[in-house]
Amino acid sequence: MNKAIQLVVFFVLSLGFTSVSFAAGLDEIPADIRAELYDPKLTDPAQPIEASLYRNWKTKNPPPWTIGYASSYAGNTWRKGAIQRLLGELLPKWQKLGLVKDIIVTQSNLKDSLQIQQMRQLVDQGVDAIIVCCSNPTALNQTVKYAYDKGVPTFSFTGYLTSPYAVNSSVNYHKAGYDIGRWMAEEIDEKGNILVIEGIPGASASDSQNRGVLDGLAQSPDIKVVGNIAHMWTSQVGQAETQKWLATHPQQLDGIAVQSSGETGVIQALLQSGRKIPPLSIGGELGALCYWRNNPEYISAAIQTWPPGDDIELGWNIMMRTMQGQGPKIQSILVPTIKSSYDDIKALLDENCDRNSTDWLHVGIETWGGKEYLDKFFLRPADPEKYKP
């Protein structure tokens, strides 16, 4: 009798947990996407996945709209790739569609207080929406609320803001990092010394992915993390920091789990050190992919977590849909990583590729959260390019 009661209580509690885990919004996402990208065990607990406050929202002003891009940093090729897509492709395209008037760009150089000031100025200038990238997950929250109260929504791509007044888009960084950690473990037969190189400490995308990598590596008890350094998502910094680390750590190194964009610089540091080049996690930097292209047996796969142009276009498309009143179901719209084989890279790069290139491989927006995929995350999905106010 007691066992029967226990089973009933367990069943009721299980139902209660399920209702909390898949509350309004997330329970409206297809089950296969939930299982792949929103598994609580592989999701950063700070990642906001509740129902979006913009489900029934529509901008107060008709197009053409003025968009503010409050960039937190411009000092690497990833940010260069993002802003090239933004100003070189998205702006003229959406101006031609008659939906965008202009984009105002600010740069805060990793200073939260300056970014907050710039965002408030953008709101006071009369922008219709703000898009940010890779920012501190909590520092901007009061400013995001200030913007919301003025009728200006905030969209964060490549990293999340914890404010309920923001809409986020990215891969699931904890899961992406976990997958990279498990790939690395398998690449070195589950044993050995690993150097972990993260991006910008304090940025949600960097912190989440770094925790995921460490969790993935920790599944193999014979793997030891012998160092953890940062490269500011910049290959030149990655090269310099790796050189310094190698100079003071002569022990055997069996693998390096490095976040893009830094892998090209890390390979250069290894080549200059004269040490054997252990397996390295490669994302989208062309120089590192070129090294693999010309050394077919080097690694088994590359895992792309954030092609810059595609990532900003994903965030842009979500912004446009939201401003048109399509109603995002949840706060964070996540996309899967892209895993590339050697044959994939060989088809894209020839043997004369540039091993020092810090440019990026883009997978294409229809692969990285295209229209059909995004339809699943909106209550009233429609082609945003065909919007007629």
Sheet holding 255-258, edge to edge: 222-230, 191-198, 255-258
C-alpha neighbours within 13 Å on the C-beta side of residue 102:
6
Q: Which fold, 173-304?
A: Rossmann fold (3.40.50)
User: How confident is the model over 191-226, as pLDDT tens digits?
Assistant: 999 999 999 999 889 999 999 999 999 999 999 999
For residues 264 and 356, what is the distance between their CA atoms, to the nearest angstrom? 7
Which tokens belong to 196?
């972990």
Q: Which tens digit of pLDDT belongs to each residue from 319-337?
A: 999 999 999 999 999 999 9
Give the start-to-end residue ranges of the domains of the chain.
173-304
Query: At 148, which helix (H) or strand (E)?
Result: helix 141-149
**Phi and psi angles of residue 67, each rounded to the nearest 5 degrees, phi first:** -110, 135
Contact in structure between 265 and 235 (CB atoms under 8 Å): yes
Yes or no: say if 177 and 227 are a contact pair by the CB < 8 Å rule: no
Residue 23 pLDDT grade (very low, low, confident, very high; cuts 50, 70, 90): low
Radius of gyration of the chain (CA): 22
pTM of the shown model? 0.92
* Per-residue model confidence as pLDDT tens digits over 361-379: 999 999 999 999 999 999 9
User: What's the pLDDT at 162?
Assistant: 97
Kindly tell me if the per-residue pLDDT of 176 is higher than 70.
yes
Is 47 exposed, middle or buried, given 0-12, 13-18 or 19+ CB atoms closer than 10 A? buried
Classify the C-alpha dihedral 37-41-43-48 as positive or negative.
Answer: positive
Band of pLDDT at residue 31, cut at 50, 70 and 90: very high
Secondary structure of residue 173 in the 3-state scheme: helix
How far CA 45 is from CA of 94, 168, 204, 208, in Å, comes to 36, 15, 12, 10
d(CA 236, CA 234): 6
Query: Which pLDDT value is given to residue 366?
Result: 97
What does the pLDDT look like over 235-251, one tens digit per residue? 999 999 999 999 999 99
Per DSSP, the three-state class of 378 is: strand
Judged by DSSP in three states, 182 sits in helix
Bridge partners of 320, per DSSP, are none
- At residue 355, does pLDDT exceed 70? yes
Using an 8 Å Cβ cutoff, are 234 and 75 in contact?
A: yes
d(Cα 70, Cα 132) in Å, to the nearest integer? 5
**Res. 134 pLDDT band, cuts 50 70 90:** confident
Phi and psi angles of residue 279, each rounded to the nearest 5 degrees, phi first: -55, 140
Q: Is the confidence at residue 356, as pLDDT, over 60?
A: yes
Nearest to 342 by CA among 379, 384, 295, 306: 295
Arithmetic mean of pLDDT, 64-80: 93
- Dihedral of CA 133/388/61/327: which sign? negative
Q: Quote the DSSP letter at residue 42.
A: G
Q: Are 322 and 166 in contact (CB under 8 A)?
A: no
